[in-house]
Amino acid sequence: MKYDKFFALAKEAGIQEAELYISQKYEVSISLFHGEIDNNSVNNGYTIIARGSYKGKFGTATCDVWNAEKAAFLVKEIVANAKVIENEDPVFIFKGSEKYTKINNFNKDLALIPLDDKIKKLHELEGALRAYDKRIVEVQAVEYSENANSITLINTHGLKLVHKSNYYVYVGVVAAKEGNQVKSAYDLLLNNDFSKADVKTLATEIGKKAIDQLGGEACESSTYKAVLSSDVVSSLVKFYIGHASSEEVQKKSSLFMGKINEKVASSKVTIEEKPLARTVFARWFDDEGVATKNKFIVKNGVLQGYLYNLTTAHKDGVTSTGNGYLGGGKMDVDFGFLVMKPGKKSLDELFAEIGNGVYITEVSGLHSGMNPQSGNFSLQSTGFLIKDGKKDRGLDLITVSGNIVDLFKDIQAVGSDVRVFPSEVSCSSVIVKKIIVSGK
Amino acid sequence: MISKKLAIDVLNESLSTGADYAEIFFEDSTYYTTSLENGKVETSTSGSACGVGLRLLKENQCVYGYTNDLSKKGLLDLASSLNKSFHSERLITVTKLDMIRGKNRNPVTNSYDCISREEKIALLKEGIAEIEKDKDPRIVRYLSYFINNHRFVAVFNSKGKWFKRDSEFGRLVFNVIAADQNGFETAFEGPGCQQDISYFKSKVDVVELARKTVETALKMLTAKECPSGKMPVVIGNGWGGVLFHEACGHALEASSVAKGLSCFSGKVGEMIASPLVTALDDSTIPQAWGSIDIDDEGNFGEKRVLIKNGKLMDYMIDDFNGRRMGRSGNGACRRQNYRYCPTSRMSNTYIANGKSTPEEIIAATKLGIYTVGFNGGSVDPSTGEFNFGCSEAYIIRDGKICEPVKGATLIGHGDEILKKIDMVGNDLALGQGMCGASSGSIRTNVGQPTIRISEVTVGGRGGELK
């Protein structure tokens, strides 16, 4: 598509510097129910976010159809929006980093594999889930989806950056029943290498998750030693690292305020942001065009530094860390692929280490049960009792409560059972010294 | 907007390989958001969303796609790409499209488009002035937003119907963060409406809203942690209805009922709740947050009685899921925008008034908690397991509201909790929320009078309730 018209109109309107962020998304998805295709979608869409500086203030506007009329619309809206900005923060349209480490992790072969082969695996997944255990009473859904995304950044300084990525996902959801108790479970696998689409292992994991929950009941309300599964850690770590945002620190709402080079976690905890790792999550420039880099955020429990975009970096007199990402038309501070350093003990060894306690396998309701500012949480959970160093009966209808920073300070051991989650986190199970459980 | 002639061509191309239903969903929306941080305008963004979603059905199979290429070629290409899912003879040819009209309960005046950004900002600043007046030093951040959206939709389907739906809505939000040496607390107020700007100027007391947000944040900052365990819980009116929304509403949507995946599948006529409970989903309330005149399949909005005196009466149904149930849609088919395939969703969902006064309910409770502010929740419709978080709560002791507590989360099974509602108040109110599910994030009202649940599991960090 031609974007010259937009830049010409912007210049005429008195917009000194301007930029277009163009996100293109192509998605195919297919789901089965009882062996038949019940949903199939093919989507192809754009989102165009235009930013420009007008009299020293930033205006932003978006659209998803590109033509001369929309180019004029974006220019008009940028000017109108910039005129009402009162914030004194400097505005930046970036000229480009000195050096970029380009990562090309787009797998061209994925789209060439016939759709029928992908659907065949979907049938295999459904069949394997049904065959897993007779207590699996329903395979609620199995779905294959494939995404190819591109991000293009073009600005008036002549910067033009393009990043492409693709991946596929297989998902399965089942219900298991025993007596009057029904439990559901889901899991997914995400990759862009189709040879790694091991749906049989996925089916086993989902089936086991569902069956293991049957027969569970609440435990006594108390404070327990706990093993948190990698799944639970992956849910919590993003809220925790969110406090490393320089914007939150500058606005005085971060729990990491004034904590650089101080202990914010147990010495067992090391967390890196690795946007340049060769994964489907790789990003070699952020949404401002700044080169991204791998970096430690917490090392042996000590906070290494804050995450910056161009504006927050300018305020603190430092350089951007490549963490400027658009959210709702605003350039937020955010992060990509997080990697928590694994330990050496297996999950069974973690159980043995705590002797008696609880093993929390899943938490839900994070959007309502987690206060991102205070870090206090109270979350619906499932899991197991740990008795005499071994996994015991299931736990049903319990909540776990605590504070996110206290929890990371209480990590006593990190396991070796690393899993990579679609939420862009690689982590393993951990032991925490205490967690409050509400049950009976 | 696409022409009727082009719509007929696209529908016929979609139907050429044997689909038994096709539908074009055209959308052209504009939206605007301004946000103030500590009293100053920090961001102002606006935009347009324009695209077409195309849905083809054949028996129990659904095929969906969307595009931003609104040219004749772009739309016919989408149709021919989707129709490859079917391989039989044409069943239907569309020759004409007749317009249908709803009751226009939600008229559009273009008021948001006609007033300036400065006017919307001035409205927010009335509240900001209240926050900044004698500002408590513990208030470290205060944010406010004004959001408005004008959405034009046109739907053409192979039943020979087409209709337009024009809607506008606005929302005004205050969010305050308070901090002391022990940590942070936040408070949020965000009324919304499907009415013109005059609603915010005449019916919303912006100053009071801002004052209340500050008061709640400070109160929660010094509140003790909520006790944990099983206990009686009195849930305040209005936004407290998120309990019913999560514990029951989602499990009554045909998207899970039709395939037998809901804990309430096949239970029409059975007692699923306490006899004190009557619950409705009513998309016909004029200008309410979740109202629609016509749903995305061309069915008119309805006042659906879901539960009457404890007995399950009906579900929220869309035409597609209705096929598995032997039912037609009852006006509940919705989606966020053209990028989402539509399905059955809630609109304005609430528990109807009972006979007790809120004061009687509190007075009848010896020891428990009273929740009045809520963060939202989630549910697994197949198991009925739900959770919802409380942002403001109090201990009830000997029939009196006592000290505030924070950090409470309620969990349970929807089918069990409905049977434990043992008092229903007479102070029904609605609260505006956004509901997320497979067809995206949509506007829904939750609602209820004050109710009491005899026993529910409460998660918190405060130990045993005393």
Tell me: the pLDDT tens digits for A273-298?
Answer: 999 999 999 999 999 999 999 999 99
Q: Do B67 and A44 touch (CB under 8 A)?
A: yes
| Of B42, B66, B376, Cβ closest to residue A43 | B66
pLDDT confidence bin for B62, thresholds 50/70/90: very high
Decide the pairing of beta strands B224-225 and B400-406: parallel
Residue B165 has a pLDDT of 93
- DSSP structure class, residue B274: -
Residue B231, helix vs strand vs coil: strand
CA A126 vs. chain centroid, Å, equals 27
At residue A88, does pLDDT exceed 90?
Answer: no
Query: How many Cβ atoms sit within 10 Å of the Cβ of residue A330?
Result: 17
At the top level of CATH, the class of A4-208 is alpha beta
8 A C-beta contact, residue B244 and residue B256:
no
Residue B465 lies in a domain: no
Q: Do residue B399 and residue B329 come from a single domain?
A: yes
Instruction: Summarize the confidence of residues A192-219 as an average pLDDT.
Output: 94
Which range (B183-192, B303-312, B449-458) has the least confidence?
A: B183-192
How many structural domains comprise chain B? 2
Tokens for B268? 């029409």
pLDDT confidence bin for A1, thresholds 50/70/90: low
The CA-atom distances, in angstroms, between A320 and each of A30, A288, A336, A384 are 41, 10, 15, 44
CA angle, residues A258, A379, A233, in degrees to nearest 5: 60
Q: Do residue B182 and residue B244 come from a single domain?
A: no
Q: Do B411 and A61 touch (CB under 8 A)?
A: no
Q: Do A401 and B460 touch (CB under 8 A)?
A: yes
At residue A329, does pLDDT exceed 80?
Answer: no
Q: Do residue B332 and residue B382 come from a single domain?
A: yes
The CA-atom distances, in angstroms, between A293 and each of A81, A307, A323, A337 are 33, 11, 9, 11
Residues of B in contact with A65 (CB under 8 A): 48, 50-51, 68, 70
Would an 8 Å CB–CB cutoff place A16 in contact with chain B?
Answer: no
Would an 8 Å CB–CB cutoff place A440 in contact with chain B?
Answer: yes
Question: Could you tell me the end-to-end alpha-carbon distance of chain B, in angstroms, rounded to an integer?
Answer: 63
CA B291 vs. chain centroid, Å, equals 10
Beta strands across the sheet bearing B429-437: B311-312, B303-308, B279-282, B348-351, B440-448, B429-437
What is the nearest CA distance from A67 to chain B, expressed in angstroms?
10
Tokens for B339? 């990028």
| Residue (of A124, A152, A440) closest to B231 by Cα position | A440
Beta partners for residue B233, in sequence order: B369, B453
Residue B466 lies in a domain: no
Determine the Cα–Cα distance for residues B153 and A101; give it in Å rounded to an integer.
45
Determine the Cα–Cα distance for residues B6 and B73; give it in Å rounded to an integer.
10
CA A277 vs. chain centroid, Å, equals 15
- DSSP structure class, residue A424: T
At residue A203, does pLDDT exceed 80?
Answer: yes
Question: Could you tell me where in chain A the CATH 3.30.2290.10 domains are found?
Answer: 4-208
Query: How many Cβ atoms sit within 10 Å of the Cβ of residue B400?
Result: 12
Instruction: Summarize the confidence of residues B103-121 as an average pLDDT.
Output: 86
Instruction: Identify residue B297 by its one-letter amino acid code.
Output: E
Determine the Cα–Cα distance for residues A413 and B316; give it in Å rounded to an integer.
48
A 373-412 residues with CB below 8 A of B? 373-380, 397-403
| Of B41, B66, B388, Cβ closest to residue A87 | B41
Would an 8 Å CB–CB cutoff place A253 in contact with chain B?
Answer: yes
pLDDT in tens, B8-47: 999 999 999 999 999 999 999 999 999 999 999 999 999 9
Residues of A in contact with B51 (CB under 8 A): 45, 64-65
CA B243 vs. chain centroid, Å, equals 13
Domain boundary among B187, B222, B257: B222
At residue A328, does pLDDT exceed 80?
Answer: no
Percent of chain A at pLDDT > 70 equals 100
pLDDT confidence bin for A337, thresholds 50/70/90: very high
At residue A238, does pLDDT exceed 80?
Answer: yes
At residue A81, does pLDDT exceed 80?
Answer: yes
Q: What is the per-residue DSSP string for A380-404?
A: EEEEEEEETTEEEEEEEEEEEEEEH
| Residue (of A281, A335, A21, A64) closest to A162 by Cα position | A21
Residue B110 has a pLDDT of 78
Would an 8 Å CB–CB cutoff place A344 in contact with chain B?
Answer: no
A 47-66 residues with CB below 8 A of B? 59-66
| Residue (of B18, B21, B15, B17) closest to B318 by Cα position | B21
Q: Do residue B216 and residue B233 come from a single domain?
A: no
Domain at B57, CATH number: 3.30.2290.10
What is the nearest CA distance from B103 to chain A, expressed in angstroms?
31
Q: Do B64 and A62 touch (CB under 8 A)?
A: no
| Distant-in-sequence, close-in-space partners of B373: CB < 8 Å, separation ≥ 6 | B187, B216, B239, B390, B391, B392, B393
Q: Do A84 and B41 touch (CB under 8 A)?
A: yes
| Distant-in-sequence, close-in-space partners of B88: CB < 8 Å, separation ≥ 6 | B17, B18
| Of B48, B382, B386, Cβ closest to residue A73 | B48
Q: Do residue B230 and residue B345 come from a single domain?
A: yes
Helix axes A199-213, A115-132, angle to 10 degrees: 30
Instruction: Summarize the confidence of residues B262-286 as an average pLDDT.
Output: 95
- DSSP structure class, residue A195: G
| Residue (of A76, A78, A87, A33) closest to A53 by Cα position | A78
Q: Do residue B270 and residue B187 come from a single domain?
A: no
Q: Do B388 and A33 touch (CB under 8 A)?
A: no
At residue A65, does pLDDT exceed 70?
Answer: yes
| Of A62, A253, A378, Cβ closest to residue B407 | A378
- Choose, out of B26, B48, B406, B417, the residue to mutate when testing the contact with A (most A CBs < 10 Å): B48
Residue A44, helix vs strand vs coil: strand
Q: Do A330 and B407 touch (CB under 8 A)?
A: no
pLDDT confidence bin for B462, thresholds 50/70/90: confident
Would an 8 Å CB–CB cutoff place A201 in contact with chain B?
Answer: no
Q: Do residue B189 and residue B251 come from a single domain?
A: no
Determine the Cα–Cα distance for residues A102 and A163; give it in Å rounded to an integer.
9
Tokens for A303? 């906070």
Q: Do residue B198 and residue B242 come from a single domain?
A: no
At residue A50, does pLDDT exceed 90?
Answer: yes
Q: Do residue B250 and residue B387 come from a single domain?
A: yes
Q: What is the per-residue DSSP string for A61-106?
A: EEESS-SHHHHHHHHHHHHHHHHH-------------S--------
Residues of B in contact with A70 (CB under 8 A): 48
Residues of A in contact with B259 (CB under 8 A): 33, 140
- How many Cα atoms within 13 Å fall on the side-chain side of residue A416? 5
| Of B33, B40, B45, Cβ closest to residue A86 | B40
Tokens for A102? 């380009």
Beta partners for residue A145, in sequence order: A29, A169
Tokens for B313? 């009466």
pLDDT confidence bin for B195, thresholds 50/70/90: confident
Q: Do B375 and A42 touch (CB under 8 A)?
A: no
| Of A64, A140, A439, Cβ closest to residue B51 | A64
Tokens for B128? 């900001």
Residues of A in contact with B117 (CB under 8 A): 80-81, 83-84
Determine the Cα–Cα distance for residues A398 and B230; give it in Å rounded to an integer.
10
- DSSP structure class, residue B426: S
| Of B45, B140, B378, Cβ closest to residue A364 | B378
Q: Nearest residue on chain B to A331, judged by CA atoms?
A: B43
| Of A43, A85, A369, Cβ closest to residue B44 | A85
| Residue (of A363, A345, A342, A362) closest to A354 by Cα position | A345
What is the nearest CA distance from B308 to chain A, expressed in angstroms?
25
Q: Do A43 and B339 touch (CB under 8 A)?
A: yes
Helix axes B206-222, B117-132, angle to 10 degrees: 40
Residues of B in contact with A43 (CB under 8 A): 64-67, 339
Mean per-residue pLDDT of chain A: 94
Residue B326 lies in a domain: yes
Instruction: Summarize the confidence of residues B439-464 as an average pLDDT.
Output: 93
Decide the pairing of beta strands A430-438 and A17-33: unpaired
Residue B218 lies in a domain: yes
| Distant-in-sequence, close-in-space partners of B400: CB < 8 Å, separation ≥ 6 | B362, B363
CB pairs under 8 A between A and B: 246
Q: Do residue B403 and residue B431 come from a single domain?
A: yes
| Residue (of A163, A150, A144, A148) closest to A110 by Cα position | A148
Instruction: Summarize the confidence of residues A374-386 as an average pLDDT.
Output: 92
Residue B155 lies in a domain: yes
Which range (A100-104, A186-190, B111-115, B310-314) has the least confidence?
A: B111-115
Q: Do A39 and B341 touch (CB under 8 A)?
A: yes
Residue B26, helix vs strand vs coil: strand
Beta partners for residue A61, in sequence order: A50, B46
Tokens for A15? 């917009």
Instruction: Identify residue A215 by its one-letter amino acid code.
Output: G
Q: What are the φ/ψ torsions at residue B85 (nearest 5 degrees)?
A: -75, -15
Residue B379 has a pLDDT of 82
- How many Cα atoms within 13 Å fall on the side-chain side of residue B250? 24
A 75-114 residues with CB below 8 A of B? 77, 80-87
Instruction: Identify residue A436 by its one-letter amino acid code.
Output: I
Determine the Cα–Cα distance for residues B318 and B343; give it in Å rounded to an integer.
6
CA angle, residues A392, A344, A244, in degrees to nearest 5: 95
Residue A327 has a pLDDT of 87
Residue A2 has a pLDDT of 82
Determine the Cα–Cα distance for residues B155 and B144; give it in Å rounded to an integer.
35
Residues of B in contact with A57 (CB under 8 A): none
At residue B442, does pLDDT exceed 80?
Answer: yes
What is the nearest CA distance from B109 to chain A, expressed in angstroms?
22
Burial class (CB in 10 A: 0-12, 13-18, 19+), A296: middle
At residue B261, does pLDDT exceed 90?
Answer: no
Would an 8 Å CB–CB cutoff place A67 in contact with chain B?
Answer: no
What is the nearest CA distance from B355 to chain A, expressed in angstroms?
31
ipTM for this prediction = 0.91
At residue B198, does pLDDT exceed 90?
Answer: no
What is the nearest CA distance from B458 to chain A, expressed in angstroms?
7
Q: Do residue B216 and residue B300 come from a single domain?
A: no
Determine the Cα–Cα distance for residues B225 and B403; give it in Å rounded to an integer.
11
Q: Do residue B195 and residue B268 come from a single domain?
A: no
CA angle, residues B426, B228, B427, in degrees to nearest 5: 10
Q: What are the φ/ψ torsions at residue B270 (nearest 5 degrees)?
A: -90, 155
Q: Do B186 and A329 touch (CB under 8 A)?
A: no
8 A C-beta contact, residue A56 and residue A85:
no
Q: Nearest residue on chain B to A25, judged by CA atoms?
A: B67
At residue B385, does pLDDT exceed 90?
Answer: no
Residue B224, helix vs strand vs coil: strand
- How many Cα atoms within 13 Å fall on the side-chain side of residue B5? 2
Q: Do B46 and A81 touch (CB under 8 A)?
A: yes
8 A C-beta contact, residue A149 and residue A166:
yes
Determine the Cα–Cα distance for residues B181 and A354; give it in Å rounded to an integer.
33
8 A C-beta contact, residue B419 and residue B437:
no
Q: Residue B305 sits in which domain range?
A: 225-459
